[in-house]
Amino acid sequence: MDEILHSNGRQAVPDAIPAEETAGGVREEGSSRQGRRPVLDALIAAGRSVGALLHRADAAAAGHKAVGPLAFLLIAGVIGVALVVGTVYTPSYVVSVDGVTLGVVSDPEVFEGAMERVEARASDILGYDYTLDNAVTYDFALTEKDKLSNVGDFETYLFDQIGEVMKSYVLKVNGQFIGAAQDETSLTAMLDAIKAPYVNENTTSAEFVESVSISRQYTPSDVEQDLSAMEARLTANTNGQTTYEVQKGDTFMQIAYDNDMSLSELEALNPDVDINNIYIGQILNVREVIPFLSVQTTETITYQEAIASPVEEVEDDSMYQGDTKVLDAGSEGLAEITADVTYVNGNERERNITNNVTITEPTAKVIAVGTKERPSWLPTGSFIWPVYGNITSYFGYRYIFGSYSYHSGIDIAAAYGTGIQAADGGTVIWAGTGTGSNWSYGKYVIIDHGNGYQTYYAHCSSLLVSVGDKVYQGQVIARVGSTGRSTGNHCHFQVKINGTTVNPLSYLP
């Protein structure tokens, strides 16, 4: 038997609608098209001749009560043919769309199902209810059962007729649609351009942190295809305000604190900034710029690094305990380091040292450490309170004796005769009653603590030390009184550093 197919020779049935295909596996258009050699005329002719044959057989059977051997053979042959026809052929419909014959279906419902699926898919892509408006006709025919058309082919054909959708290369980041292009290379070139700023001659790999995919699929015909708009979206910062303009009174430390960062974290974001010398209007980075699409690069770099000198301590019984002296500064060594450094958007994330070669060995730093017992009068470097009591007057400008005046220390109220202790060890350089411009101090003591530090204890009722005495921290050097310019029993405590009067509260515990 001949293959029985539809009547005209048009190759109207393309491949089935492909599911989403990855860029690597894009199917070539038209590769699976199959021409179906139509013999609809033959089909129809065969249908007619079979019908005529059956008709004659019926007539023969009806007209002869007794069937002779010849008639029997004839009838048996006809029935045999009919059985063969019924087994091999099936009633079917030739489907034409807009005058183009597409193929053969067993029932119009088969084709209508295909149309519904195409409409559903197009509606899904377009975002609104899409209806096919093609003119469809069905013509009855008999067809070999295994020659019915592939329904998927109808769907592909119908889909390709829809002007509102097209096939594109679609770019997605973490599954989120970004845009589409008619060629894959323009998308990959745009992605490469995003990586480019982070790539240099040491770069060994450059990857996107997020999942990036390009797939060939149907999209609405008015899909985003502006590559520069896509690039702008992918490189846009997603981390809010990342900079801060320095205001009057700001310190680097305060800015770090205000942004929940350590000093070193803020420094790392501002490698070119002198943290001790920020100025009003300066722009500091207070957060990392995090683009929509992040680039992770790895570089293999080689650099030289100092090797710190090991420290050797040498005991010295001519020096006091706690004192040290550098005998030999030593010299740093030098190493050549090779490391694999990982960056995200240019910010270092990880550093793996793969090779470390010493070029120059360091020499030891030698420090002499004192072992001699420390005399009690040596200053400790920190102050204790000379007396304990309420502060009745603070350092700075104050209203007293009918006018504003500058107060050079703090006044600590205490009972008459209370012992006044040396705030730290040192040498008494004044113990006596003030005269001239120092009259207002009354009886007072000055102790020199070395390193430019001096302390004053004034308005005393009595003095217990003399000039030249070495005093230790906590030693009672005088007693509380109200001599000089004073309105009650108290100790006026004053601190000078290199001759400048400072606020004692800044140096007291």
Footprint on this chain of Zn ion (rule: CB under 5 A): 411, 492
- Smallest distance, Å, CB 421 to Zn ion? 18
Give residue 402's identity as a one-letter amino acid code. G
How, if at all, do strands 410-413 and 490-497 pair? antiparallel
Q: Cα-flanking dihedrals φ and ψ of residue 134, to 5°?
A: -70, 150
> To the nearest whole angstrom, how small is the minimum distance from the Cβ of residue 393 to Zn ion?
6
Residue 113 host element (H or E)? helix 108-126
Provide the minimum distance between the beta carbon of 459 and Zn ion in the complex, in angstroms, as a whole number.
7
Strands 426-433 and 443-450, by their bridges, are antiparallel
Residue of 409, 404, 406 whose CA lies nearest to 386? 409
Q: Are 142 and 136 in contact (CB under 8 A)?
A: no
Q: Which is nearer to Zn ion, 216 or 490 (CB)?
A: 490
Least separation in angstroms between residue 462's CB and Zn ion is 18
Residue whose CB is less far from Zn ion, 118 or 412: 412
Q: Which amino acid is at 464?
A: L
CB of 409 to Zn ion, least distance (A): 5
Work out how close the CB of 407 gets to Zn ion at its nearest, in angstroms, rounded to a whole number: 6
Q: Based on CB atoms, which residue is closest to Zn ion, 176 or 487?
A: 487
Toward Zn ion, which CB reaches closer, 411 or 469?
A: 411
Closest approach of Zn ion to the CB of residue 478, in Å: 15
Which lies closer to Zn ion via its Cβ, residue 395 or residue 453?
A: 395
| Residue placing its CB nearer to Zn ion in the complex, 216 or 492 | 492
- HEC-encoded secondary structure of 308-335: CCCEEEEEEEEEECCCEEEEECCECEEE
Which of 121, 492 has the CB closer to Zn ion?
492
Neighbours of 163 (CB within 10 A): 7
Angle at CA 422, nearest 5°, toward 421 and 423? 105
Give the span between the Cα atoms of 124 and 117, in whole angstroms.
Answer: 10
Nearest CB to Zn ion, comparing residues 36 and 492: 492
157 versus 456: smaller Cβ distance to Zn ion: 456
3-class DSSP assignment, residue 134? coil
Q: For residue 15, what are the contacts with CB-CB under 8 A and spacing of at least 6?
A: 27, 29, 30, 31, 32, 33, 152, 153, 156
Give bridge partners of residue 421 from the DSSP assignment: 476
- The span from the CA of 488 to the CA of 69, in Å, is 156
Shortest Å, Cβ 411 to Zn ion? 4
How many whole angstroms from its chain centre is CA 184? 27
Which residue, judged by CB position, is nearest to Zn ion in the bound state?
492
In the complex with Zn ion, the residue whose CB is nearer, 254 or 392, is 392
Nearer to Zn ion among residue 396 and residue 450 (C-beta): 396
| Minimal distance, residue 420 CB to Zn ion, in Å | 13
Least distance (Å) between residue 324 CB and Zn ion: 39
Beta strand ranges found along 182-234 (DSSP E):
203-208, 212-220
> SS3 sequence, 136-178?
EEEEEEEEEHHHCCCHHHHHHHHHHCCCCEEEEEEEEECCEEE
**What's the CA gap between 468 and 465, in Å, rounded?**
9
Q: Are 24 and 158 in contact (CB under 8 A)?
A: no
Q: Which is nearer to Zn ion, 287 or 496 (CB)?
A: 496
Report, in Å, the least distance between residue 403 CB and Zn ion: 15
Nearest approach, Cβ of residue 389 and Zn ion (Å): 13
Do 198 and 249 meet the contact criterion of CB atoms below 8 Å apart? no
User: Among candidates 149, 157, 144, which has minimal Cα distance to 117?
Assistant: 157
